[in-house]
Structure 1
Amino acid sequence: MAWQDAVEQTVTGLGYDLVELERSAGGLLRVTIDLPWEPSLAGGAEQFVTVEDCEKVTRQLQFLLEVESVEYKRLEVGSPGIDRPLRNERDFERFAGQVVDITLKAPIGATGSGVAVTRKKFRGTLERNADGTGWQVVWADEPKLKPGQKVGKNRPPAPVHALGFVLDELREARLAPIVSFKGRGAPSPQGGA
């Protein structure tokens, strides 16, 4: 068994999900964990990884890495943060309705749609496709308002765009790092990236 598989098995055995496992130059071994998500509990209070959770995983991984003879200088265990990567179908189900940043492997190549032919990066609200076979990102290209600028009543609404995709077409998908200092309300979708 490879040491990466042993790390994943240890993390899941402790009751956490392994989000990312990264080994960088200089001997840093970074392990990102999250609490498991259950669809039946969706809509309940969101639970977060605590410092105690990270300490518990760190202690177990130190023993494991010693047994596996994995060379590293520093082990760092943490939570995914506000720009959490979305890796699999379960992650997309969990964060449906949230604002995400996606990067495609290849440009979309659509002309006449108002979207640049070479565009690969998009920011919008993650939704399930109408047919249920894939996903889509929905956004409106509204111009940014300057502080104090008022929006006229006669201003036409910005056109809404939707980009459908399947997971194989993605290079990367992450939650959009949107910070609101007005409380925990749902952030409003922002324009495309």
Structure 2
Amino acid sequence: MVAPAHAERVRHVVEPAVADVGLVLEDVTVRKAGSRSVVEVVLDVTEDDEGGLDLDRVAEATRAVSDALDAADVIVGEYTLDVMSPGVDRPLTQRRHFTHAVGRTVTVTLSDGGSLAGRLTEVDRSGPDDSIVVVPVTPGLKGRKPVVGEPVRVSLSEVRHAHVEVDLSGIGPVDDVDQDEIAGHDAAAGKES
């Protein structure tokens, strides 16, 4: 493992390069892998950026970060540069994280120990204290529809931990009944199946 002070020097060099391409530096890790160093740079979009962090933007940032590291010569010897997005499992810790998670299902642990799970519908930046609005959703049992509750407003200062729940409900094989319905619909529409 490389000393944290070394990662801070790398962060100091990398952060302006990332900002110049319109992104936010989320994290920097420097570690040893045999005789080489591995520099991991985690990027995110700004709060008001409506675009995502696609491969073109990551490639542009990678070039900028690589050029900055080479010019500053803060890494001794050979190194491998890994530039990536934070991924869906990262905790929601800043207002911009919540802003980009609007419309997704989140689980929030409050500072009083309570918890809240549901659809994040809003991030309110208008008051003296930023807040989020979550519509609680309790899954239905045995094929029943989920129960949707009244929206709950929570101050971000009351959030101890939060993360996006990955929804895999639309992934997987389509069952035989659905395939039969689809085949029947295609045949009725005059399409070959």
Residue 189 (structure 2) aligns with: none
Residue 41 (structure 2) aligns with: 31
- TM-score, length-scaled by structure 2: 0.57
CA contact 1:21–1:29 (8 Å) conserved in 2 = no
Partners of 1:104 and 1:68 lie apart in 2 by 44
Aligned sequence identity (%): 24
Partners of 1:5 and 1:173 lie apart in 2 by 28
Partners of 2:150 and 2:30 lie apart in 1 by 38
Equivalent position amino acid for 2:103 in 1: G
Greater relative contact order (Cα 8 A, min sep 6): structure 1 or 2?
A: 1
How far has the Cα of 1:9 moved from its partner? 1.6
How far has the Cα of 1:99 moved from its partner? 1.6
Q: 2:137 aligns with which of 135, 140, 144?
A: 140
1:57 aligns with 2:71: no
Partners of 2:54 and 2:112 lie apart in 1 by 38
Matches within 5 A, 1:18-97: 18=25, 20-23=26-29, 25-26=31-32, 27-36=37-46, 38=48, 47-66=51-70, 67-70=72-75, 73-83=79-89, 85-97=91-103
Partners of 1:90 and 1:53 lie apart in 2 by 18
- TM-score, length-scaled by structure 1: 0.57
How far has the Cα of 1:13 moved from its partner? 0.5
Partner of 1:86: helix, strand, or coil?
A: coil
What are structure 1's unaligned runs of at least 5 residues? Answer: 40-45, 109-119, 183-193
How far has the Cα of 1:106 moved from its partner? 5.0
Partners of 1:16 and 1:159 lie apart in 2 by 36
Residue 166 (structure 2) aligns with: 177
Partner of 1:4: helix, strand, or coil?
A: helix
What are structure 2's unaligned runs of at least 5 residues? Answer: 1-7, 173-193
Partners of 1:90 and 1:17 lie apart in 2 by 10
Cα distance change on mapping 1:90 and 1:64 into 2, 3 Å: same
Higher strand share: 2
CA contact 2:119–2:137 (8 Å) conserved in 1 = no
Once the two structures are superposed, residues 11-33 of structure 1 have per-residue CA deviations (whole angstroms, 9 ceiling, x without a partner) of: 11012233x21426545432222
Equivalent position amino acid for 2:10 in 1: W
CA contact 1:82–1:178 (8 Å) conserved in 2 = no
CA contact 1:101–1:173 (8 Å) conserved in 2 = yes
Once the two structures are superposed, residues 41-75 of structure 1 have per-residue CA deviations (whole angstroms, 9 ceiling, x without a partner) of: xxxxx633333322222222223234151468432
Higher helix share: 2
- Rg comparison, structure with higher value: 2
